[in-house]
Structure 1
Amino acid sequence: MENHNTVGDAGGSDLPTIMVTNDDGIDAPGLQALVRVLVSTNHYRVWVCAPDSEKSAVSHSITWRHPITAKRVEINGATAFAVSGTPADCTSLGISKALFPSVPDLVLSGINMGSNCGYHIVYSGTVAGAREAFFYGLPSLSISYDWVGGTSTNNDFTLAAEACLPLINAILAEIKTKTFPQKCFLNVDLPTNIPNHKGYKLTKQGNSIVKMGWKPVSSDSEGAQMLSTMTMETNSTSTNNNANVVSQQQLLFKREVKGGHVEDDETDYWYLKQGYITVTPLGALSHADNDSQTYFKSWLPIVASSAL
């Protein structure tokens, strides 16, 4: 590994530094488009610290028991490393000053191939990449594009990145004046028809989710193809009745989609499907609703008294 005291110094120290990660892998078109757009403005110093392979839906998992590798890769205009760890690992390493010479001003995670709304935020490695930065007090933004197979193109990632520039510039301005809120990070989802989006919409996390099930399969490769975090086809009804060919000592199962999104009005997924760029502030913790808090406030003392 090269001397990191000089890594990332190109571009001028007076420029704000943006570090980019993702969960689709460093070669994914979403990350490549985002970096390309950022570099083309000449307004930022751009660092990349992203997984060396697909890491979708790994949530906020981290590598703990063994070292991870970081390999320098060529991305025009940026200083980039492909890392053998998870998105959270990449962010943690990238902001630690072990790899780059300083802490970035802003962390961007994305652009993910597929939306990350509702309960899918819990599964998302993209969101985790931004959340990890938030844990350490750094402003961060997770970005996802509502990719639809047969409709969307790689150029849409470029349009999505360009649509995020006003948000990125505004956040950097707030960082400079030290007025950006420190108790949240932002999750951004861009609609499928990005050229005709309806503008930004401040939203809240809903409870939308693709309902999943399991089916028996006869080999590891069967049914293995998935695009990215929660971008599976929602009309799959196929089943496999050939599981009896698998060894009796080992049963194989693959996830399958059992139903479409459960929609809730006026939340992130709902507004995304209306054509808005949704901007959802998130925190580290998920609190139970007030009704649940009220219920358990009276329930727990009864349990405690019955245990005496």
Structure 2
Amino acid sequence: MDSTAVAAQAPVLLVTNDDGIDAPGLRFLVDQLVAARCYRVLVCAPDSDNSGVSHCITLRHAVSCTRVDISGATAFGVSGTPADCASLGISGMLFDGVVPDLVLSGINIGNNCGYHIIYSGTVAAAREAFLYGIPAIAMSYDWVAGQSRVNDLKVSAEVCVPLINNIVTEIKNGTYPQGSFLNVDVPTNVAHHKGYKITTQGKYMAARISWKQTVYKKPAVESYQTANTDVDGEKDSELVTPAENNLLFKRVIVGRNSDEVEGEQDMDHKSLVDGYITVTPLSPLSRTDPDVIPYLKASVSRLVGNFSSFGPSFSRSRVA
């Protein structure tokens, strides 16, 4: 069998992220997948940093796609969000009808545990693929400013590849579960991790955020290696006087939250801090709080009862 036929039969992996197509985490992951010589690797990622955009999608205008040279892969930078990139990448439109077997989002700089999952563009890209029936994994490295190095992202890619290989095998065999997508977080000291650990999403939130009034700051030009690595860092920028009557505000960190929010051993952030590569199955559905249902039924029943004064059509209302 010639190499073209082998390539046509190889599992197809789509790589995306929220840090942007030039991010080292994505590039290291692609390098590892290409070096394995058993996958067809496609890349569809934002053409600029889209960190923290959650599951935002582009509806009112077109997105542009620019071919990007990444050795061993077919790659496009897209003027859209991570969810846009995942959606476009699995649509068959961008890659000549090819639909991936698995979507990989990352490797992100900064953990995506606990409540951070809500804000994460990295997780949203994996969620978007899952919503359309494609298995997906979001992957993040727990970057700590002043301690982590860019090479840690390379090692993070290396330790994620065995998990990716295993999941591809399960997909090929038809044994991979269809009910969730995966969120993987790699510990700061990745070179000495304690192995994989299956965890549940906790309530971790790194910091308490408030606002302060400010003037507009034009972002300074920076290399990717210095971006997104320290949420406390202020970069040199040009001060611009706001237009008359405009008030400008920016988010600021007003305090750090304690890791003690999570008491259970199998919560994602607690396990990550303990040195494990956490693997958390996620559902796109928000969990219903069963404890509040009896209260709401009683409360809404009283509300419906009060509608009787508005006429027969209201008084016939019931609460199931």
Number of aligned residue pairs: 291
1:220 aligned partner: 217
SS at structure 1 position matched to 2:7: coil
Deviations 1:124-181 (A, max 9, x none): 1000000000000110000010011211111111111111112111111110111211
Give the Cα separation in 2 of the matches to 1:10 and 1:155: 35
Higher alpha-carbon Rg? 2
Partner residue of 2:93 out of 69, 94, 98 = 98
Partner residue of 2:26 out of 24, 31, 40 = 31
Q: 1:65 corresponds to which letter in structure 2?
A: R
The answer on 1:233 being equivalent to 2:225 is no
Higher helix share: 2
SS at structure 2 position matched to 1:305: helix
Give the Cα separation in 2 of the matches to 1:208 and 1:223: 31
SS at structure 2 position matched to 1:182: coil
1:108 aligned partner: 104
1:3 aligned partner: none
2:263 aligned partner: 265
- In structure 2, list runs of 5 or more residues that go unmatched: 309-320
Give the Cα separation in 2 of the matches to 1:10 and 1:21: 26
Give the percent of matched residue pairs that are identical in Structure 1 and Structure 2. 53
1:239 aligned partner: none
TM-score by length of 2: 0.85
The answer on 1:286 being equivalent to 2:282 is no
Deviations 1:236-288 (A, max 9, x none): 9xxxxxx9x75550111111112223531231111111111111111111113
Give the Cα separation in 1 of the matches to 2:297 and 2:282: 26
Of residues 191-200 and 290-299 in structure 1, the stretch that sits farther from structure 2 once superposed is 290-299
Q: Map 1:119-138 to 2 at 5 A.
A: 119-138=115-134
2:306 aligned partner: 306
Give the Cα separation in 2 of the matches to 1:113 and 1:223: 20
Q: Map 1:59-208 to 2 at 5 A.
A: 59-100=54-95, 101-208=97-204
Give the Cα separation in 2 of the matches to 1:122 and 1:15: 34
1:211 aligned partner: 208
Give the Cα separation in 1 of the matches to 2:23 and 2:145: 15
The structural deviation recorded for 1:227 is: 4.3
The structural deviation recorded for 1:102 is: 1.2
Give the Cα separation in 2 of the matches to 1:79 and 1:222: 31
Give the Cα separation in 1 of the matches to 2:60 and 2:53: 17
Distance 1:77 1:195, change over 3 A: same
Distance 1:284 1:134, change over 3 A: same
The structural deviation recorded for 1:187 is: 0.4
Deviations 1:25-46 (A, max 9, x none): 0000110111011111112110
Q: 1:218 corresponds to which letter in structure 2?
A: V
